[in-house]
Amino acid sequence: MKQLGHFINGQHVAGQSGRFVDVMNPALGEVQARVALASGAELDAAVAAAAAAQPAWGATNPQRRARVMMEFVRLLNRDMDKLAEALSAEHGKTIPDARGDVQRGLEVIEFCIGAPHLLKGEFTDSAGPGIDMYSMRQPLGVVAGITPFNFPAMIPMWKMGPALACGNAFILKPSERDPSVPLMLAELLKEAGLPDGILQVVNGDKEAVDAILDNPTIQAIGFVGSTPIAEYIYGRGCSNGKRVQCFGGAKNHMIIMPDADMDQAADALVGAGYGAAGERCMAISVAVPVGDETADRLIEKLVPRIEKLKVGPYTSGNDVDYGPLVTAQARERVLGLIDSGVEQGAKLVMDGRGFTLQGYESGYFVGPTLFDKVTTDMEIYKQEIFGPVLSTVRAQTYEEALGYAMDHEYGNGTAIFTRDGDTARDFAARVNVGMIGINVPIPVPLAYHTFGGWKKSGFGDLNQHGTDAFRFYTRTKTVTSRWPSGLKEGGEFHFKQMD
């Protein structure tokens, strides 16, 4: 059976802790590999190696660092199919979804090619008599990223791309559920010309996470995952004096106004609610039609579309709409939440609990599930389900619908479907959510804008990718400079008074 270790100092190394965890094939419910779990001592050794390598990389001019990013983009495009295949085999998402995972990470790397411009400071000539003032952006040193299972290519690249382009060394602790792609990315960066030691991939669990949080050499940490873990990492990291950004859970609402194009809205909900089996933080999991007539029309449009969804393993090709959940535990949790929705009185329009697939009876599949008449006190409304479950909450007015999105503890993404520009503008201005879609169901910003949620979806002052990432991974140093304007007799310098 395949054994996966770590990527340290430019090469694959076996784990030394003696602890391993199984990597599953989620379509078959079978073990396909084992990955080593690093001890705290192994993590600290990787950090020490990164710290030794970082000064030379930090002193490399930004244009040369950008050339490494440029070559990395070429290699990502070359190996796109190989990366997507490995990703799908461990995560379970379809090949088109896996390619999208890699592509959205690649786009951030493309943005990082602009590092020479993004790292420019500011300059003021003649701030005073003979006085110039300027600022510099300098790397932090060694930084780290702790990334989730649901985007094993995209989110590691969102973290490490800007960090490396800024001149830092980077410690990546990816999810142990699908570790192959992060290790492959490290190989490609080495091939692209990244010096050994600048990117370390350390697989592990809570022991490795705590070692990252407590290691005094690590200056900054980026995290994506659930809100309870985000709160833990943010609190412990900040208490240790680190710069920390954490992105947590989500419960994304899509408001459907009576004037919306109902076919467009239904198509958007099916893709946003069930794509990738709902295992993404920007999935739409709550539909909020305004008015009972709107709700009835929406459900009428949704049901035949959902009935046509094809669920299966990624090996079935492009005919599959989504695959299995990542683990048996994830499947049991989703099924339990569906049970709770029934018990608490929601109307179960489509039931995915009994879904089976011939030849894949042990796989972690859940069929598409649709609830209507969900209320805000139900667990399926309050919790992030992270599965192929769409809940419909009926609102009688626009203000009531807006209140659902604003009152929920999560504030990652939201959307409104309407033909009325005034309503859309009001919604975008008032809703207390970080990313807004107007007739766009999953409003993930492109790489040159910034990604981040509000409320319990995000912790920290700066967001992911865009210019915020370059601010997060650098410190600003401001220099005030004065040079003598001439010499007095006897060789003494004459300094003018600064105003």
Q: Which two tokens stand for residue 68?
A: 């490494």
Q: Bridge partners of 173?
A: 146
Q: Is 281 a catalytic residue?
A: yes
- The alpha-carbon radius of gyration of the chain (Å, integer) is 25
Residue pair 305/344 in contact (Cβ under 8 Å)? The answer is no
Cα 181 from Cα 178, distance rounded (Å):
7
Q: DSSP secondary-structure letter at 328?
A: H
CA distances from 93 to 76, 186, 472 (A): 19, 22, 31
Q: Which of 112, 166, 246, 281 is catalytic?
A: 281
Q: Which two tokens stand for residue 474?
A: 């650098």
Q: Which two tokens stand for residue 188?
A: 């490609």
Q: What is the residue whose two structure tokens read 């049970």? A: 339
CA distances from 184 to 145, 191, 297 (A): 16, 11, 47
Residue pair 258/297 in contact (Cβ under 8 Å)? The answer is no
Cα 88 from Cα 86, distance rounded (Å):
6
**228 exposure class (CB count in 10 Å sphere: 0-12, 13-18, 19+):** exposed
Residues known to be catalytic? 281
